[in-house]
Chains A and B, each alone.
Chain A
Amino acid sequence: MNEVLRRLLFLPDQASTFARDVDRLHYFVIITTFIMSTAVGLTAIFFFVRYRRRSETQTTPHIEPALWMEALFVGTPLIFFTLWFFLGFREFVRQQTPPSDSMDVYVMGKKWMWKFAYPDGPNSINVLRVPAGRNVRLLMTSRDVIHSFYVPEFRIKQDVLPGRYTQTWFNATMPGRYQILCAEYCGAGHSIMRGEVIVLKPQEYENWLAFQHRGLVATQDAQPTALDFAPPLGNMVDQGRRIAAEQGCLKCHTTDGTRHIGPTWLDLYLRRERLNDGSIVVADEAYLTESMMDPALKVVEGFQPVMPSFQGKLAGPEVAALVEYIKSLQSDAVRIGPSEGPAYAPIRGR
């Protein structure tokens, strides 16, 4: 029965402990809905057939409903709806209260990728590995705008807010791979802000964790990012992003504000850069182009002149695309501002 209805309604697999319970209520609600709307429609048709207009001058009696009838009209839906509410809310509270023995994973949403961090464990991008049969709590925040962490097979979804934390939890029952979707609109990459939950058998999970502890931070679970899956979109900025990846700029430059071998590109455009000779330049288009062609000419203070020249390696349009890309890297108004990040909270009762 469950299986038939699930397929009929196109519901995805039931891969968490919630799924079955949620679906059961789902069937009840949808079946009631079907019955009621069909009943109303059929009654209307029946009345039409039964009470067709027979003559153009027909008159009709004045009919007022009896009180019991109005009570029925109010009472029936009220009973059903209240019942739905109680069944649903009980489940909802369960979904909102992580059990105290859950393991924690920290989730950060960012345009347009998911980052996961395990306490005293590895970090990963877009891939969340969890053991089957274990309660997992996700403590989530966002770097820029609102995102929403959605795994259809688990029937969980929770918005991820900048500047504060939200939480959700699940207990995956079936080992396998499940898609993570972003369900809150977050811009051009919203629909490709996808990730994956890999549910491992408990032993496999332990092995993976142990392996991760052995490696260097840099080699930990280097997953391709969502951006790698992003098809070329055709505009200059996107071309620039692709070229930057192809040409290896991103080996030395970051786009998220952190310092690497070279200066970050975030907010670079029109930044006033202090050079190692003490002078100051404004990073306009000319300077950006020059930095690619003749990097050693003006070296930014605090950096080594290690950047290779790209003279002859980049065609004119490519340079232009890169410049456009760099220009597009302006941080949003949403930054780590005067208010510090939110606090970590243990699960109540732990």
Chain B
Amino acid sequence: MSPEAASLPEGILAHHFASLERQNEAMRLGMWLFLATEILLFAGLFTGYSVYRFEFPLAFAECSRHLSLTAGTVNTIVLITSSFTVALSIHFARTDQRRAAVVCLALTILLALGFLGIKAIEYTAHFREHALPGKYYAFEEVKIPGAAMFYTLYFMMTGLHGLHVVAGMSVLTWLLWRTNQGRYSSRYYTGLELGGLYWHLVDLVWIFLYPLLYLI
């Protein structure tokens, strides 16, 4: 190891771990377990979706046609790209290119904002049409049983996903700050990596939401 590399910041070893390596492994395992819980959290809504789609296929198809496919597609592209930039930022951090890592993270956050913006525009449109969930449903164009249920699911799923986007953004902002301080390097980048994992999960969920909601 070059002396230069040795001066790069390392993680702090807690007293109860035998080695940094082990500690990183523990953190990564912990994160994956956390992601598993997130997956099961969404699974509840996906179950609801499957059941009601099974019961009301017509209503679901009809309602889905009233969502903006363009907005959905653009958002998919935005989110995929943001996932890509996060992956890049980790790559740059671990190859000691701090500037590039920071830029990539900033880009990710911008893309996330873009995603939320587009979602907000969609939501506004739904509000205007009264295509709202549950008892607020008063959408003139679709009046078949099950339509309200579609919008309930639509709002719950995108809403919960949106919350995750916001949470992910906050994490990324914090990571951006720390990366800028030079906390992550080829010798230690676990924190950044875990944040990235979370963001990828947000992307994963959307990859399924997109066809299920917009493309029936």
Contacts and interface: CB of A to CB of B under 8 A. Distances in A.
A–B touching in complex (CB under 8 Å): yes
B145 A333 contact: no
A339 B146 contact: yes
A338 B143 CA distance: 9
A228 interface: no
Contacts of A332: none
A333 B137 CA distance: 14
Contacts of B148: 338
B16 interface: no
A340 B145 contact: yes
Q: Is the interface of A mostly helix, strand, loop or mixed?
A: loop
Contacts of A333: 135
A280 to B, nearest CB: 23
B135 A339 contact: no
Contacts of B143: 338
Q: Is the interface of B mostly helix, strand, loop or mixed?
A: loop
Interface in B166-205: none
B207 to A, nearest CB: 32
Interface string A326-340: 000000010000111
Interface residues of A, number: 4
Interface in A277-334: 333
A14 B145 CA distance: 44
A285 B148 CA distance: 35
A333 B134 CA distance: 11
A333 B148 CA distance: 15
Nearest to A339: B145
Contacts of A338: 137, 143, 145, 148
A164 to B, nearest CB: 10
Contacts of B137: 338
A338 B146 CA distance: 9
Contacts of A339: 145-146
Nearest to B148: A338
A339 B145 CA distance: 5
A156 B143 CA distance: 39
B135 to A, nearest CB: 7
A51 B137 CA distance: 73
Contacts of B145: 338-340
Interface string B131-154: 000010100000101101000000
Nearest to B134: A333
Interface string B25-57: 000000000000000000000000000000000
A338 B137 CA distance: 10
A334 to B, nearest CB: 11
Contacts of B146: 339
A256 to B, nearest CB: 20
Contacts of A340: 145
A333 B145 CA distance: 17
A338 B138 CA distance: 11
Interface in B105-148: 135, 137, 143, 145-146, 148
Between A333, A338, A340, the greatest number of chain B beta carbons within 10 A of the residue's beta carbon is seen for: A338
A224 B148 CA distance: 39
A302 B145 CA distance: 32
B56 to A, nearest CB: 9
Nearest to B146: A339
Nearest to B143: A338
8 contacts: A333-B135, A338-B137, A338-B143, A338-B145, A338-B148, A339-B145, A339-B146, A340-B145
Interface of A: 333, 338-340
Interface of B: 135, 137, 143, 145-146, 148
Given A338-B143, A338-B145, 6 more contacts: A333-B135, A338-B137, A338-B148, A339-B145, A339-B146, A340-B145
